[in-house]
Amino acid sequence: MKETLAELERWGSDVIFGRAKGFRASMMRLAMSALSGVYRVVVQTRLKIYRKRWRQQHHLGTLVVSIGNLTVGGTGKTPVVELLAKTLRDRGRRVAILSRGYKSRRLKEPQNWKSNDGTKFPAEKMPKLVSTGRALLLDSKFAGDEPFMLARNLDGVAVVVDKDRVKGGRFAVGQLGADTLVLDDGLQYLHLSHGMDIVLVDRSAPFGTGALLPRGTLREPPRNLCRASYILITKCDGTPNDALIEKLRRHNRVAPIIECTHGPRYLEEVFTGERKPLEFLQDKWTAAISGIAVPEGFERSIEKLGARVEIRRRFSDHHRFSRKEIDKFMERCIERDMELVVTTEKDAVRFPRPKEITVPIYFLRIEVEILKGHEAWEDLITRLCHPSAPGDPVLRYRDAYAL
């Protein structure tokens, strides 16, 4: 049953991205297009409800900055969340990351937590606490891939998971002493008021496939980019982005634009932690395995580093690998005389240990680097660390949803 659902999910993804061909795929795309019109009405109506304040947002009395995008997956959000949280932490802010914990498993019972007054914290108000900033408390199965990865990489930054980010935020502020909440994938989460919205745009596919869900990968129409306080163009390669910036300016004339690259830094062995320089990939016969939204980008990255990618195994986004799947994949690698296996860091956190590790398994570490817009980035950090003036929207409610 699990394998059947995974196959259907992969096929659905292939339909959306145009990889699936034939009559059945064409009919499915036609049906999805009709549903996209309904989805557009729902999205815009929801925004209007919050804009008109027919439904109230929650204000937690502290700084809330959202990092999100208009599309589903593939913009490199997690490395940006990590960079922002790390920078704010280093500038003296007490940071907590609030995440939904997509595809994480529910705990059998809430974690035990003692309130500041020594009493047991109420179970119904307890979110999943992945990290206090000093101790890692949950694995990727219960935390979710990205929250676990962030918690493992960020000392001194708390990570809290709950679908109700208001509940998670209250815990982070009241129990962990957080004064800065980073809302991971928060652009569409309107129940909690944001002081600032950082919106990521993938340089190679700025508006995804160009169609709204479920036909395409857009969560909102491109004109909703007007809600962005700052725009980060991700995965840049150093070439000019003038044409893209002109497109973005049609939807948002004032938000500072920052250009950054998601560059590989090193390889790390999944089970031993041994690190290798990127040159280690040169001319190596390589097997690539991943469960991410856009595997082609990952595979191109390791090819550019000189790897000879002979085997490509793709799973649906956030797929939790089984031991059987990995053992079968490793057997294939041995049969084809592969010299190493490479996966993504996000996939590495849910990679089961194979029965035999005859071929070494590494993940590619990716980090963000600002290419253009350093002053805008510094301005963003300064505003978050030292909200200056009365009227600065970082700390007060702003009518962000007037479209």
Binding-site residue positions for ATP: 71-78
Residue 87 half-sphere exposure, CB side, CA atoms within 13 Å? 19
Beta strands 196-202; 158-161: pairing state: unpaired
CA 384 to chain centroid, in Å, comes to 21
How is residue 352 written in tokens? 């089961």
Known binding-site residues equal 71-78
CA distance 25 to 347: 28
What is the residue whose two structure tokens read 């909440």? Answer: 181
**Collapsed DSSP state (helix, strand, coil) of residue 123:** helix
How is residue 110 written in tokens? 């809430």
Q: Which residue, among 55, 180, 175, has the nearest Cα to 125 in the 3D structure?
A: 175
Q: What is the largest CA-CA distance in the chain?
A: 66
Q: In angstroms, how far is the first alpha carbon of the chain from the final one?
A: 43
Per-residue burial over 265-293, b if 16 or more Cβ lie within 10 Å, else e, is: eebbbbeeeeeeebebbeebbbbbbbbbb
